[in-house]
Chains A and B, each alone.
Chain A
Amino acid sequence: MHDKTLAELAAALGDGKVSSVELTEHFLRRIESLDNRLNSLITVTAEQALETARAADAARARGEAGPLTGVPIVHKDIFCTEGVRTSCASRMLDNFISPYDAGVVERFKAVGCPVLGKTNMDEFAMGSSNETSYYGPVNNPWDTQRVPGGSSGGSAAAVAARLAPGATGTDTGGSIRQPAALTGITGLKPTYGRVSRWGMIAFASSLDQGGPMARTAEDCGLMLNVMAGFDERDSTSLERPAEDFNARLNTTLKGLRIGLPREFFGEGMDPGVARVIDEAIDFYKKLGAEFVEVALPHSGLSVPVYYVVAPAECSSNLARFDGVRYGYRCEDPKDLMDLYMRSRGEGFGPEVQRRIMVGTYALSAGYFDAYYLKAQKIRRLIADDFRQAFEQVDVILAPTTPTTAFRLGEKTADPVTMYLSDVYTIAVNLAGLPAMSLPAGFSEGLPVGMQLIGNYFDEARLLGVAHQYQLGTEWHQMAPAGFE
């Protein structure tokens, strides 16, 4: 049952072959027996999930079920969930029970998806390995000595290990795509503004975007159909006509122009990853796609630009965690300054503190122009590069990450090496484009992700291009040993 995709489970529910309660109980049992090897969930919400499942079964019996009614999912613990701890994997919010639901959570609730639990992540989504979590690292189900990537590492591991058929994630610099690649699943970061940020705890507001993580492109499309849509509570939310993101799954790829950015195929890429991507290119050629080399000349600056813009925004976004109204407060503060300094010093982990410091510095008087303002200018140039590229091609194909999953602790000592694991994903966030990662093969037993980048609002096309690949390959069906 757990080896079925979200689409297959939805169909089974529709045919009455299984009930939502049965499905939910099954996945809850798997979580109970297997997650001790992964640590992918911070909070398991079994009771609420079963309650929703019973309501979903009742709704189905009344003939009121939608496509995903009754299909259990997990939410990244960055999405506020009413009455449930919403920790952002931080000691700061370890005691925070959200009094309201995020827009994304509301939407899945309205559809009737039981929520099995809240997934582990890098603290406040800051990290690429899930090692900055207050609740401990997540292990990659393909090799539990390795990281699942981050920041949506728990969501990725849970889906890869078949603990849930689908998960929500967020992607600020690659936080959906990079862990999807490292765990062999499919993840989509939509166009900035597609998915409401209301109730999604902000890391870097101008880059953060929620999206689906599941086994297949089709599953991601089904989830995106629920997640996406205008939300008047988010001023950056886009007002677009309703759209079925799976409408183009079966569109032929004949004549599709795929761009290969030469900057993404240079040094630093693992040969195993390069081989897998070459094979994927060959596959698409057989389907009739044409390949064009494109230039993204400013993409080499995306990591430094990102590490100015994102920390700058985070230094301000995280100022509200001050120990005054909610969240962690230090013991016996002797005055206001002591309350602030110790609450934040003890409540935030080292990576979060590092980024707050960097961001505060970048925004300070005398440095603002040289860092923040300059970064914003380069950001525009990066977006212009993509605009020009999309005049020549329909989608861009690249590796998602330069390497496969690395060992736990391997990069924690050197933040810059860690930051470079997002070198292929970050430019997409700076430009606000949609992009996805899908499993394209293995290198030394570890999954390799292929990244597809689309033009603004081109999610349906991306999903179609990915789906056509998945129709002809089996990488996305592979299950890690011990989690089959």
Chain B
Amino acid sequence: MMEWETVIGLEIHAQLSTKSKIFSGASTAYGAEPNTQACAVDLGLPGVLPVLNREAVRMAVKFGLAIGAPIAPRSIFARKNYFYPDLPKGYQISQYELPVVGRGQVEIELEDGETRTIGVTRAHLEEDAGKSLHEDYHGMTGVDLNRAGTPLLEIVSEPDMRSAREAVAYMKKIHALVRYLEICDGNMQEGSFRCDANVSVRRKGTEKFGTRTEIKNLNSFRFLERAIHFEVERQIDILEGGGAVVQETRLFDPDKGETRSMRSKEEANDYRYFPDPDLLPLDIEPAFIEQVRGSLPELPDEKKHRFMNDHGLSAYDAGVLTASREMAEYFEQVAVAVEGQAKLAANWVMGDLTGALNREGREITDSPVSAEALGGLLRRIQDNTISGKIAKEVFEAMWAGEGDADQVIERKGLKQITDTGAIEQVIDQVIADNPSQLEQYRSGKDKLFGFFVGQVMKRTGGKANPAQVNDLLKQKLS
């Protein structure tokens, strides 16, 4: 049985969230009527010229600094020439030999807590193409140029990933990073964040890379994972059958869960890159870089370490909670509400809240229970108004829109019973109603202690303070 190793590199396309396009003044807003957000420049009319959007440059620099990469003092825009109906000029303006962001790296964390460093070869600015619409046109193709000229940051990784899981972790890490930096909305359904995966396999222990294939346009973490799994199996089958992998571009079909050939290397375009004579070299002054550096927010890794130090969280918890800026901000708000019990806040955010969000496929930003509301609930656990168990019931009610924690506790009468007298009364009743169990307990059957606790909680509707119940029962039963 042959042992195979997978080698993966990703090219991630992050759409930069500038208001206008990278080389024109047209809006980048998503979802407008076709061709209503394409000006003369985007349409590639005769005589039009590109002018670089400075905001896109600022965003690229932000990213570069966040991954510890050098920012090129001079980078060059080149033309990538090919014909396609949704490419109005017949070339895409991109950066080729001299990209704006040089080599950097990110750290990814796997579920088992292991961390790995993934190299980022480069990141460069380019314009997006329009969209070809092949349906609804009776055999013809519709072209929508609203997206043409939208700024993209293409982030190219080293072939450093060794499994689909690592690739997903890396893509998630970059996704979190661009959102932390507020340079990309990360909306994968709208195509704002997508990737191409270069996949190859080789025998374990060998140095030389196998022949790779490139899987185009993966716009979900799930698709990335499935596409890689399928592709790795396919390549191994070919190699074990004595065949050879063909270097080619492939497409992932999410319905069938398989990749299929798009074009082979022989059919590949010769893009005839050359420096775009309509644009001057992009010169970036050190002062500009420093200004951008000063505007960087706290990044995921910094935040993670702060959560570990300030809140005493485990590396795993801190990692999960900082995976997105929104989650981290939500957690911190809850943690402030229950000062000193960050672990309680962490457990609730990662447990009940995340569970409920996943159940309904919601984002944390549109959670029906706000961070403030959850904080209010946890304060009621802290001050013994309710038990942790009752809190789950209150949370569900809050989720269903029945009000804040205090309102729900009040309306449902869920307030914890902490009055010793009241608890003793219930205990006395339970003991009186269960004489045989009492006798067995007293003759040494210690296990029955739990039975008494259960009976007391049952009769109080779960509201009796569990610690008090324990203490008082021990006294009464002895």
Contacts and interface: CB of A to CB of B under 8 A. Distances in A.
A198 B45 CA distance: 11
Contacts of B52: 235
Given A236-B280, A319-B81, A322-B90, A96 B274 contact: no
By secondary structure, the A interface counts as loop
Contact of B278 (A99, A205, A360): A205
A320 B46 contact: yes
A114 interface: no
B181 to A, nearest CB: 27
Contacts of A233: 49, 51
A262 to B, nearest CB: 31
Contact of A319 (B83, B277, B280): B83
A198 B91 contact: no
A88 interface: yes
Contacts of A236: 277-278, 280
B337 to A, nearest CB: 51
A172 B85 CA distance: 29
B336 interface: no
B280 A235 contact: yes
Contact of B85 (A232, A318, A321, A336): A336
Interface string A311-322: 011011011111
B85 A324 contact: yes
A364 B81 CA distance: 10
Choose among B40, B88, B274 the residue with the greatest number of A CB atoms under 10 Å from its CB. Answer: B274
Interface string B86-98: 0011110000000
Contact of A201 (B46, B81, B279): B46
Interface string B458-477: 00000000000000000000
Contact of B49 (A197, A316, A336): A197
Contact of B83 (A204, A326, A340, A372): A340
A319 B50 contact: no
A235 B46 contact: no
Contacts of A99: 40, 45
A320 B90 contact: yes
Contact of B270 (A197, A198, A365): A365
B451 to A, nearest CB: 79
B113 interface: no
B47 A320 contact: no
A235 B43 contact: no
B48 interface: yes
Interface in B77-123: 79, 81, 83, 85, 88-91
B403 to A, nearest CB: 56
A199 B50 CA distance: 12
Contacts of A324: 85, 88, 143
B272 interface: yes
Contacts of A368: 272, 274
Given A235-B280, A316-B79, A320-B89, A202 B274 contact: no
Contacts of B280: 235-236
Interface string A350-370: 000000000010011100100
A320 B44 contact: yes
Nearest to B272: A363
Contacts of B279: 235
Contacts of A321: 46
By secondary structure, the B interface counts as loop
Contact of B46 (A86, A204, A205, A313): A86
B278 A198 contact: no
A88 B79 CA distance: 23
A455 B223 CA distance: 60
A88 B46 CA distance: 10
Contacts of B85: 322, 324, 336
A483 interface: no
A100 B272 contact: no
Nearest to B23: A235
Contacts of A325: 43-44, 88, 143
Nearest to A199: B47
Nearest to A312: B274
Nearest to B83: A340
A195 interface: no
B272 A316 contact: yes
A388 B478 CA distance: 110
B272 A364 contact: yes
Contact of A326 (B45, B49, B91, B274): B45
Contacts of A34: none
A405 to B, nearest CB: 30
A205 B277 contact: yes
A80 interface: yes
Nearest to B40: A100
Contacts of B81: 315-316, 319, 363
Given A200-B47, A201-B47, A326-B45, A316 B91 contact: yes
Choose among B47, B81, B88, B90 the residue with the greatest number of A CB atoms under 10 Å from its CB. Answer: B47
Interface of A: 79-80, 86, 88, 93, 96, 98-100, 102, 197-202, 204-206, 232-236, 312-313, 315-316, 318-322, 324-326, 336, 340, 360, 363-365, 368, 372
24 contacts: A79-B47, A80-B47, A86-B47, A88-B46, A96-B46, A100-B45, A102-B47, A197-B49, A198-B48, A199-B48, A202-B278, A233-B49, A234-B49, A235-B279, A235-B280, A313-B277, A316-B90, A316-B91, A316-B272, A318-B90, A319-B91, A320-B89, A322-B83, A336-B141
Closest 9 CB pairs of A and B: A319-B90, A363-B272, A206-B277, A205-B277, A199-B47, A320-B44, A201-B46, A80-B47, A201-B47
Given A99-B45, A363-B272, 19 more contacts: A80-B45, A88-B46, A199-B47, A201-B46, A233-B49, A235-B49, A235-B51, A235-B279, A235-B280, A236-B277, A236-B280, A315-B81, A316-B274, A319-B83, A325-B143, A340-B83, A363-B81, A364-B270, A372-B274
Interface of B: 40, 43-52, 79, 81, 83, 85, 88-91, 141, 143, 270, 272-274, 277-280
